[in-house]
Amino acid sequence: MRPEKVMYFTEKEEEFTELLMGLGLKRNVAKVLVYLANTKESTSRDIERGTDLRQPEVSIAMRFLTEVNWVKSRESRAESKGRPVKIYELARPITEIMDSIEKDKKREAKTQLDLIQKLREYIS
């Protein structure tokens, strides 16, 4: 059996997760994103252990992260026979992902401000 290095969240990573959640990301997505930002690549099992999430929670987060093209995966043959193991990594640097989140939030804010302006026009 090969030794494994399992990563766990530090206080700084917990805070990063909380900030992402404050921007509207779901808890599971935020945790997985922070975990992958701090590793080169990981299996879903490593992500489960490191984020303290269950397998279905990781799968749901991965589905979302893959749909928005923030994560990519590849399959690797396991040491023994059986199913191949999926290995995940960020599809682009975390700074680009943060830029994308910022752009979305600015667009949302502009939409809200435009609606407020339209409401003001109705009452004047």
Model pTM score: 0.83
pLDDT category at 7 given cuts 50, 70, 90 is: low
| Predicted confidence (pLDDT) per residue in 67-87, tens digit | 999 999 998 876 667 788 889
CA distances to 31, 75, 113, 121, 123 from 70, rounded to whole Å, are: 14, 17, 28, 40, 43
List, in sequence order, every residue forming a beta bridge with 39; answer none if it has no partner. none
